[in-house]
Amino acid sequence: MPQITKKGEVKQLVLEFEDNNLIRELLGEFDENLALIEDRLGIETHTNGNLITLSGSNNAITTAKSVLEGLYHRLRHGEQITPAEVDGTIRHLDPMMPVATRANARKKAPRKPRTKTAQKVLVKKGPDDAAQIRTKKRLITGRTKLQSDYLRTIDKNELTFSVGPAGTGKTYLAVAYASAALELGLIDRLILSRPAVEAGERLGFLPGDMREKIDPYLRPLYDALYDMLPADKVELGLESGVIEIAPLAFMRGRTLSHALIILDEAQNCTPMQMKMFLTRLGEGSRMIVTGDPSQIDLPAGTRSGLIDATSLLHDIEGIGHIRFTGKDVVRHDLVTRIVNAYDNKEEKRQSARKKTTGDPA
């Protein structure tokens, strides 16, 4: 029964459910469904056997009660419950509640892990606090502090942007993380994508069918994949569709659930293409977006979707941002010096423009 002591104080409500097996499904894996209700409604919960205690404002726990009882009823009738159904039920009962109380939810209750990838941390602590991740073929260790931060950021966020020059491990580490997640069964599919933007050459003049024309653009993804997993596993994954490598244009109209999706060379996306890609994110999925803003091959005057997205989405919860510099280049030492030379030239160009025109770009 509800217990109210004084006006304005927190109300508590205890719910009792009969079937212990259905309770486990109601709460979700690692209590992800309950964590979602806490987050959306700004309440605190406590479970004890078949009892769930709700603490919060009167309106919030009344909504939570309706959500839980409705979902339990659906489970009793053979339906399956996922976080998407939980979120939809909350929105249906009170469309304004998820937005209005999200800030309060973070203050009242610590966030619980929502997905298997969040619960089972793939990134381990190695020597000198370096981040490590293990795949079938090798143990990968972050070579710079920012590389270690990158792996940990992927582990914590549903969407990660990785920006920086060539040779900093943006794609390689993303594929390493994805390969480890796939091997452990934390995701059902691995999807690797790139925009097929011609860098001075035309697809139509390349020999072969469509796949043969596109494969050269995706070759770096294949190379990283074969470096992480045995060749037979890669071939089997490609044949079965568990591993998919496709141009960005092939993503339109899809919803990608229980997958890890990597968009490489994202500096060559337009803002509309980037929006299309990011909105493919489905339930239980993660995205990693990598790119080098200094190597944009888009037509003159076309704004890069990567630059647009990192500027627009920099303060959104659940999105991580890593920005590499020439100091993080781990290829041949000469590559580092080349990157630094180009960076210095660009800095001088922008500084001169700012002095003469007042335009920071």
| Interval 276-297: pLDDT, tens | 999 999 888 999 999 999 888 8
For residue 276, give the nearest of 257, 258, 259, 251 by alpha carbon. 251
Distance CA 146, CA 329 (A): 11
Arithmetic mean of pLDDT over the chain = 81
- Sorting pLDDT into bands at 50, 70 and 90, what band is 174? very high
Tens digit of each residue's pLDDT (9 = 90 or more) over 293-331: 988 888 888 999 999 999 999 889 889 999 998 888 876
Residues sharing a CB contact under 8 Å with residue 71, sequence separation 6 or more, in sequence order: 26, 33, 81, 85, 86, 89
Specify the pairing of strand 259-263 against strand 189-194: parallel
pLDDT exceeds 50 at position 336 = yes
Percentage of the chain surpassing pLDDT 90?
Answer: 30
CA 324 to chain centre: 18
Can you tell me the distance from the alpha carbon of 195 to that of 179, in angstroms, rounded to the nearest whole number? 21
Distance CA 265, CA 284 (A): 24
Of 3.10.350.10, 3.40.50.300, 3.40.30.10, 3.10.300.10, the CATH number of 118-330 is 3.40.50.300
Cα 108 from chain centroid? 25
196 residue type, one letter: A
* 145-174: average pLDDT: 93
What is the distance in angstroms between the CA of the first residue and the CA of the last residue of the chain? 63
User: What radius of gyration do the chain's Cα atoms show?
Assistant: 24
- On whether the CB atoms of residues 144 and 98 are closer than 8 A, the answer is no
The confidence band for 79, taking pLDDT boundaries of 50, 70 and 90, is confident
In the block, residue with structure tokens 């990693």: 288
What is the pLDDT averaged over residues 157-176?
Answer: 93
Q: How far apart (Å, rounded) are the C-alpha atoms in residues 118 and 336?
A: 34
Q: Which residues contact 111 (CB under 8 A, 6 or more apart)?
A: 35, 39
**What does each C-alpha distance from 276 to 182, 248, 263 come to in angstroms?**
25, 9, 12
Sketch the domain layout of the chain as residue ranges.
Answer: 11-114, 118-330
Beta-carbon contacts of 60 under 8 Å, excluding residues fewer than 6 positions away, are 41, 42, 43, 97, 101
Domain 11-114: which topology? Ribosomal Protein S8; Chain: A, domain 1 (3.30.1370)
- The pLDDT of 331-340, averaged and rounded, is 72
The burial of 101, by beta-carbon neighbours within 10 Å (0-12 exposed, 13-18 middle, 19 or more buried), is given as buried
- Quick one: pLDDT band at residue 102, thresholds 50, 70, 90? very low
- Of residues 147 and 253, which shows the higher confidence score? 147
Burial (CB < 10 A; 0-12, 13-18, 19+), residue 361, is exposed
| pLDDT band per the 50, 70, 90 thresholds, residue 112 | very low
